[in-house]
Structure 1
Amino acid sequence: MSTVLRHPGVKRLFALNVAARVPTAGAGVLIVVHAHALTGSYAAAGLVAAAAALAVAVAAPLLGGIVDRRGQTAVLVASGLVAGGTYVALGSLPHSAPLGAIAALAAVAGAAQPPTGACLRTLWPDVLDGDREAVRSAFALEAAALELTYISGPAGFLLLAAATSTGAAMAVLGVVLAVGTVAFAAEPASRAWRPDASVGAGGAARGSALQAPGVLTIAAVTTLIGVVMGGIEVAVTAAGSAHGTGATSALLAIWGVGSLVGGIAAARLGGARGARELLVLLVMLGATHMALVAGGTSAVALGALLLAAGASIAPVFATTMTLTGELARPGTTTEAFSWNITALASGVALGSALAGAVVEAAGTGPAFVAMGAAGVAAAGLAAARAGTLQVPAPAPAAAVA
């Protein structure tokens, strides 16, 4: 990990990227809170949040594909300004605003969500001079740092909303998103990145990132990981409700801390190695989340189990990111990373709905078991398609005459 951070400009590039993604991490919950404040209805707020999430899932690969063809700067600046401005407009809506207008603005903001994460992952091989070990460590470090955004983003903007108003918090979120994205786009490494000149030339077609069998496998596996993530959030919320809102927040934060610790440990160990490590991590992900059923009604026991379960999350994401970058077809890397965003969002939506139904019908214990089973299913899928996850060995360097 220290080797990665010693590369020139890496700390600044990494910090700016993470800062630009804090508003994105906070947007989901703030949209729900703000829409409820405007409409007085959680059902309406849910529809608004769904519109934003669906727009993100549909548009992410499209924006990633444009980056692969045109470069990062224009896409980042345009999407950052559009998304940021739309969030400001959303925050400025009066209480009399119709639901259609609220949902439409949320959808525009979601569709324009800047591909800052995909762009950073595309940059790592160039920034780290093609050092595969350093790139793997960088992915692990990024996965750990993302937990900080998931903790600080929602908490920070909700606190701002409580101190001012949901509209003011939404406007601030938009400004921070726009400024952070433009600042990242202004970094020399991002501005200097160019699409693969060999793709599209001489009759070589770019095609879709999903034409790479390994990328398709990772997207399918990531969908199941999303089922685990979305479902566990619902099940933990239901389990913590008996102990109060503070208990739920604490339990989810402990889960995030476990992932943060796991990601840091993975980065120190040099990051992921490949398909075999992914399979092991997915089994751990499924088993440890299935074990949450043993927490019963004790918040303390559930917290301890969540800390252990979280430890596999960041390493799993680090491994899927590493494999995506190494398996993507030339000229489609940014789009490939963006498909993972779509897959994760789709899985989270499915897992949330499934867990809600199971909790309602049978309680939190069966919901934990079902979500853990989704993780085991992800491991089974990865094992069945292990052949598509084999990374070709790097070509030997040409001998010097």
Structure 2
Amino acid sequence: MSPPGESASLSDYRAALTTRGAAVPALFSAVGRLPVAMYALATLLYVQGATGSFAVAGLVSAGSLVGVALGSVVQGRLVDRLGPTRPLLAAAVLFAGAVSALIVAVEAGAPLALVVGAAAVAGAVQPALPGSSRALWSRLVPAGPKRAVAYNYEAISMEMFFILGPALAALLAAAPWPGIGLLVAGIATVVGTTGFALTPAVRAAKPEARAGSGGMLGVLARPGVLTVALAGLGFGLVVGGVEVGVPAVAAEAGSRILGGILISAWSVVSVLAGLIYAMRPWPRPLHLRLPVLLGAFGVLVAAMAAAGSSLVGLTIVMLVAGAVITPQVTAQSLALEVATPPGMATEAFGWVITAITLGVAAGQSTTGWLVEQAGPSAAFLAGGVAGVLLAVVLWVRRGSLAPSVDRTPLPAPC
């Protein structure tokens, strides 16, 4: 197998995206993944508009994140064991029902515990489309630059959705009924997931042979997969700090809109940098790439604290830090390719999604308290330091992703 870390050219992008059988699933996947970044904000704005309380809206949004963290791994295991079509169709039906129940609960003024519970259930059954979409590329394209480019496309498209999704949610929140954003997000998720699951390429995907489950932890028992999950956790902690610190700086400057503009610009830079980085990735050895990229991300975000109240300085450092986002996400996908035994790819990606989600949630909650105590700079410093510390852990564990590590399947549990 070609080394997963080799560079790619623009012709590789064209070749990957025009692979036989890939166009239609990629289109439905885009429709279904667009609401990934839109759903949480649409829920928060809807609940806040209906209740008039950001505190209540925050609790409901947190319930949704907890549900996603718990459900992504379970769905990943089901997809790996049964193939993608049946679990995705079942999740689409359950998600449609859960979102409907959430809307009914909010409209009826149900008790907070019931609304939070409905949000958690909706998060848990939110279809595992990102992991299934990523796993499909490993079946459609051969290993090497072409597959690396396919994974880079997944990372770049997700960045684009993180630009468009929140903007669309905010726009729809201004409608006469604030729940329209959540409704649109739910419909797009269901339509995209159903279309993706029923395409010939996805229906033809059969479960790969599995030698064992690895016990309760599943594929997370693999040292390499655990290393990638820790990279996702560190990434989420850093991002969580920025997502709290930047709006806080913008609020101090008297312009809340500026925070959204800066985060959107962050994502745009990430997309452009990801395209360039894929042509000549560094470091070349994949097992060194995760700690180096996360460490650089942490250092750059911590440096945002030095900008103080200077919006110009903050913007410059922030955009430089944004250039490391897509390369990290792509490196995580490539590392999973190396670390995951056959038949467990979607579950492995589910663990990484869970780690990132928990990291963002922990980063936001922790740095939110720090902002109240010491100002926005504390959020950048805390997020950056957390990223650097996790980068040190990744460096210590780099051998778990070295090319010489045994990739035989997990033994069957007794």
CA contact (8 A) 1:84 1:173 kept: no
Structure 1 position 252, deviation (Å): 1.0
Q: Which residue of 2 aligns with 1:113?
A: 126
Q: Which residue of 2 aligns with 1:313?
A: 325
Structure 1 position 223, deviation (Å): 0.9
Alpha-carbon spacing, 1:270–1:5, altered in 2? closer, same or farther (3 Å)? farther
**Structure 2 Cα separation of the partners of residues 182 and 35 of structure 1:** 27
For the residue of structure 2 that corresponds to 1:172, the secondary structure is helix
Q: Which residue of 2 aligns with 1:228?
A: 238
Alpha-carbon spacing, 1:294–1:117, altered in 2? closer, same or farther (3 Å)? same
Q: Which residue of 1 aligns with 2:411?
A: none
Greater CA deviation, 308-317 or 76-85? Answer: 76-85
Q: Which residue of 1 aligns with 2:8?
A: none
AA in 2 matched with 1:108: V
Give unmatched runs, 5+ long, in structure 1: 396-401
Structure 1 position 73, deviation (Å): 0.3
**1:192-245 CA distance string (max 9 Å, x none):** 111113x2xxxx323211121100111122111111011110011111112311
Q: Which residue of 2 aligns with 1:291?
A: 303
CA contact (8 A) 2:239 2:360 kept: yes
**Structure 1 Cα separation of the partners of residues 246 and 388 of structure 2:** 19
CA contact (8 A) 1:282 1:376 kept: yes
Q: Where does 1:170-181 land on structure 2 (aligned, <5 Å)? A: 170-181=182-193
Q: Which residue of 2 aligns with 1:245?
A: 256
Alpha-carbon spacing, 1:15–1:269, altered in 2? closer, same or farther (3 Å)? farther
Aligned residues: 389
For the residue of structure 2 that corresponds to 1:166, the secondary structure is coil
**1:307-341 CA distance string (max 9 Å, x none):** 11101011001101111122112221110000001
**1:67-124 CA distance string (max 9 Å, x none):** 1111100111111222133223433442533223321221111010111111112111
Q: Which residue of 1 aligns with 2:269?
A: 258
Q: Which residue of 1 aligns with 2:228?
A: 218
Q: Would you say 1:338 and 2:331 are equivalent positions?
A: no
Structure 1 position 393, deviation (Å): 8.7
Q: Which residue of 1 aligns with 2:212?
A: 205
Root mean square deviation, CA, Å? 2.0
In percent, how many aligned pairs have the same letter? Answer: 35
AA in 2 matched with 1:17: S
Q: 2:278 aligns with which of 267, 272, 291?
A: 267
Q: 1:127 aligns with which of 102, 117, 140?
A: 140
CA contact (8 A) 1:79 1:114 kept: yes
Q: 1:19 aligns with which of 19, 22, 31?
A: 31
CA contact (8 A) 1:137 1:268 kept: no
Give unmatched runs, 5+ long, in structure 2: 1-12, 408-414
Q: Would you say 1:382 and 2:394 are equivalent positions?
A: yes
CA contact (8 A) 2:230 2:355 kept: yes
Greater CA deviation, 83-92 or 30-39? Answer: 83-92
**1:148-188 CA distance string (max 9 Å, x none):** 11111111122112123222222222111111110111222
**Structure 2 Cα separation of the partners of residues 105 and 391 of structure 1:** 44
AA in 1 matched with 2:347: E
**Structure 1 Cα separation of the partners of residues 201 and 178 of structure 2:** 36
Question: Runs of 4 or more off by more than 4 Å in structure 1?
Answer: 270-273, 392-395
Normalising by structure 1, report the TM-score.
0.92
Q: Which residue of 1 aligns with 2:110?
A: 97
Greater CA deviation, 90-99 or 55-64? Answer: 90-99
Normalising by structure 2, report the TM-score.
0.89
AA in 1 matched with 2:201: A
**Structure 1 Cα separation of the partners of residues 171 and 115 of structure 2:** 22
Alpha-carbon spacing, 1:9–1:273, altered in 2? closer, same or farther (3 Å)? farther
CA contact (8 A) 1:225 1:347 kept: yes
AA in 1 matched with 2:312: V
CA contact (8 A) 2:338 2:401 kept: no
**Structure 1 Cα separation of the partners of residues 15 and 334 of structure 2:** 17
AA in 1 matched with 2:213: R
Alpha-carbon spacing, 1:96–1:282, altered in 2? closer, same or farther (3 Å)? closer
AA in 2 matched with 1:116: L
Q: Which residue of 2 aligns with 1:399?
A: none
**Structure 2 Cα separation of the partners of residues 172 and 221 of structure 1:** 32
Alpha-carbon spacing, 1:278–1:245, altered in 2? closer, same or farther (3 Å)? same
